């Protein structure tokens, strides 16, 4: 059990878009595994509200921090991808910026977001976007 990782990813269907989540819960073992499952469910529930990614991440952060003496610290990248238009709207909460490689081989760093989840209950997050 001590080798159970807190790393995770999830792709979810959200109406006409896809929700993409990549993250890491601090720590390892059973505790990280339990928090990872909880956080993935929390992100999915918040994403179904069709709020912008920054608001989804902020809502998940507030819920994670609610009534917890010491919530887990988690780094998370959440994005909507519209497969028809190629539009990507995202929020990066504490991960090193992912790189988006375009067909023309240009590379864009996806830096917009805010702090890790669980660090501060009232954290502010920003969304970034790309077409």
Alpha helices (runs of H) in 1-131, residue ranges in sequence order:
30-47, 53-65
pLDDT confidence of residue 4: 60
Kindly report the pTM of this predicted structure: 0.89
The dihedral through the CA atoms of 115, 38, 88, 110 has a sign that is positive
pLDDT digits (tens, 9 = 90+) for 64-92: 888 667 778 999 999 999 999 989 999 99
In whole angstroms, what is the distance from residue 64 CA to residue 69 CA? Answer: 11
pLDDT confidence of residue 117: 94
The kind and range of the H/E element at 90 are strand 88-93
pLDDT band at 33 (very low <50, low <70, confident <90, very high): confident
Q: What is the CATH number of the domain that holds 41?
A: 3.60.40.10
Domains identified in the chain, total number: 1
pLDDT confidence of residue 1: 45
Is residue 44 a contact partner of residue 12, using CB atoms and an 8 Å limit?
yes
The domain containing residue 60 runs over which residues?
A: 5-130
Residue 108 CB-half CA count within 13 A:
12
pLDDT digits (tens, 9 = 90+) for 93-117: 999 999 999 889 999 999 999 999 9
Of 58, 8, 65, 60, nearest in space to 32 by CA: 8
């Amino acid at each position: 059990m001590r080798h159970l990782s807190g790393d995770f990813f999830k792709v979810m269907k959200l109406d006409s878009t896809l929700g993409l989540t990549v993250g890491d819960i601090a720590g390892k073992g059973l505790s990280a595994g339990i928090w990872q499952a909880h956080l993935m469910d929390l992100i999915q529930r918040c994403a179904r509200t069709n709020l912008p990614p920054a608001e989804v991440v902020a809502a998940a952060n507030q819920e994670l921090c609610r009534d917890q003496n010491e919530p887990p610290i988690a780094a998370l990248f959440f994005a909507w991808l519209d497969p028809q238009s190629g539009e990507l709207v995202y929020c990066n909460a504490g991960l090193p910026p992912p790189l988006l490689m375009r067909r023309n081989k240009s590379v864009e760093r996806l830096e917009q977001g805010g702090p890790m989840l669980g660090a501060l209950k009232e954290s502010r997050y920003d969304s970034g976007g790309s077409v």
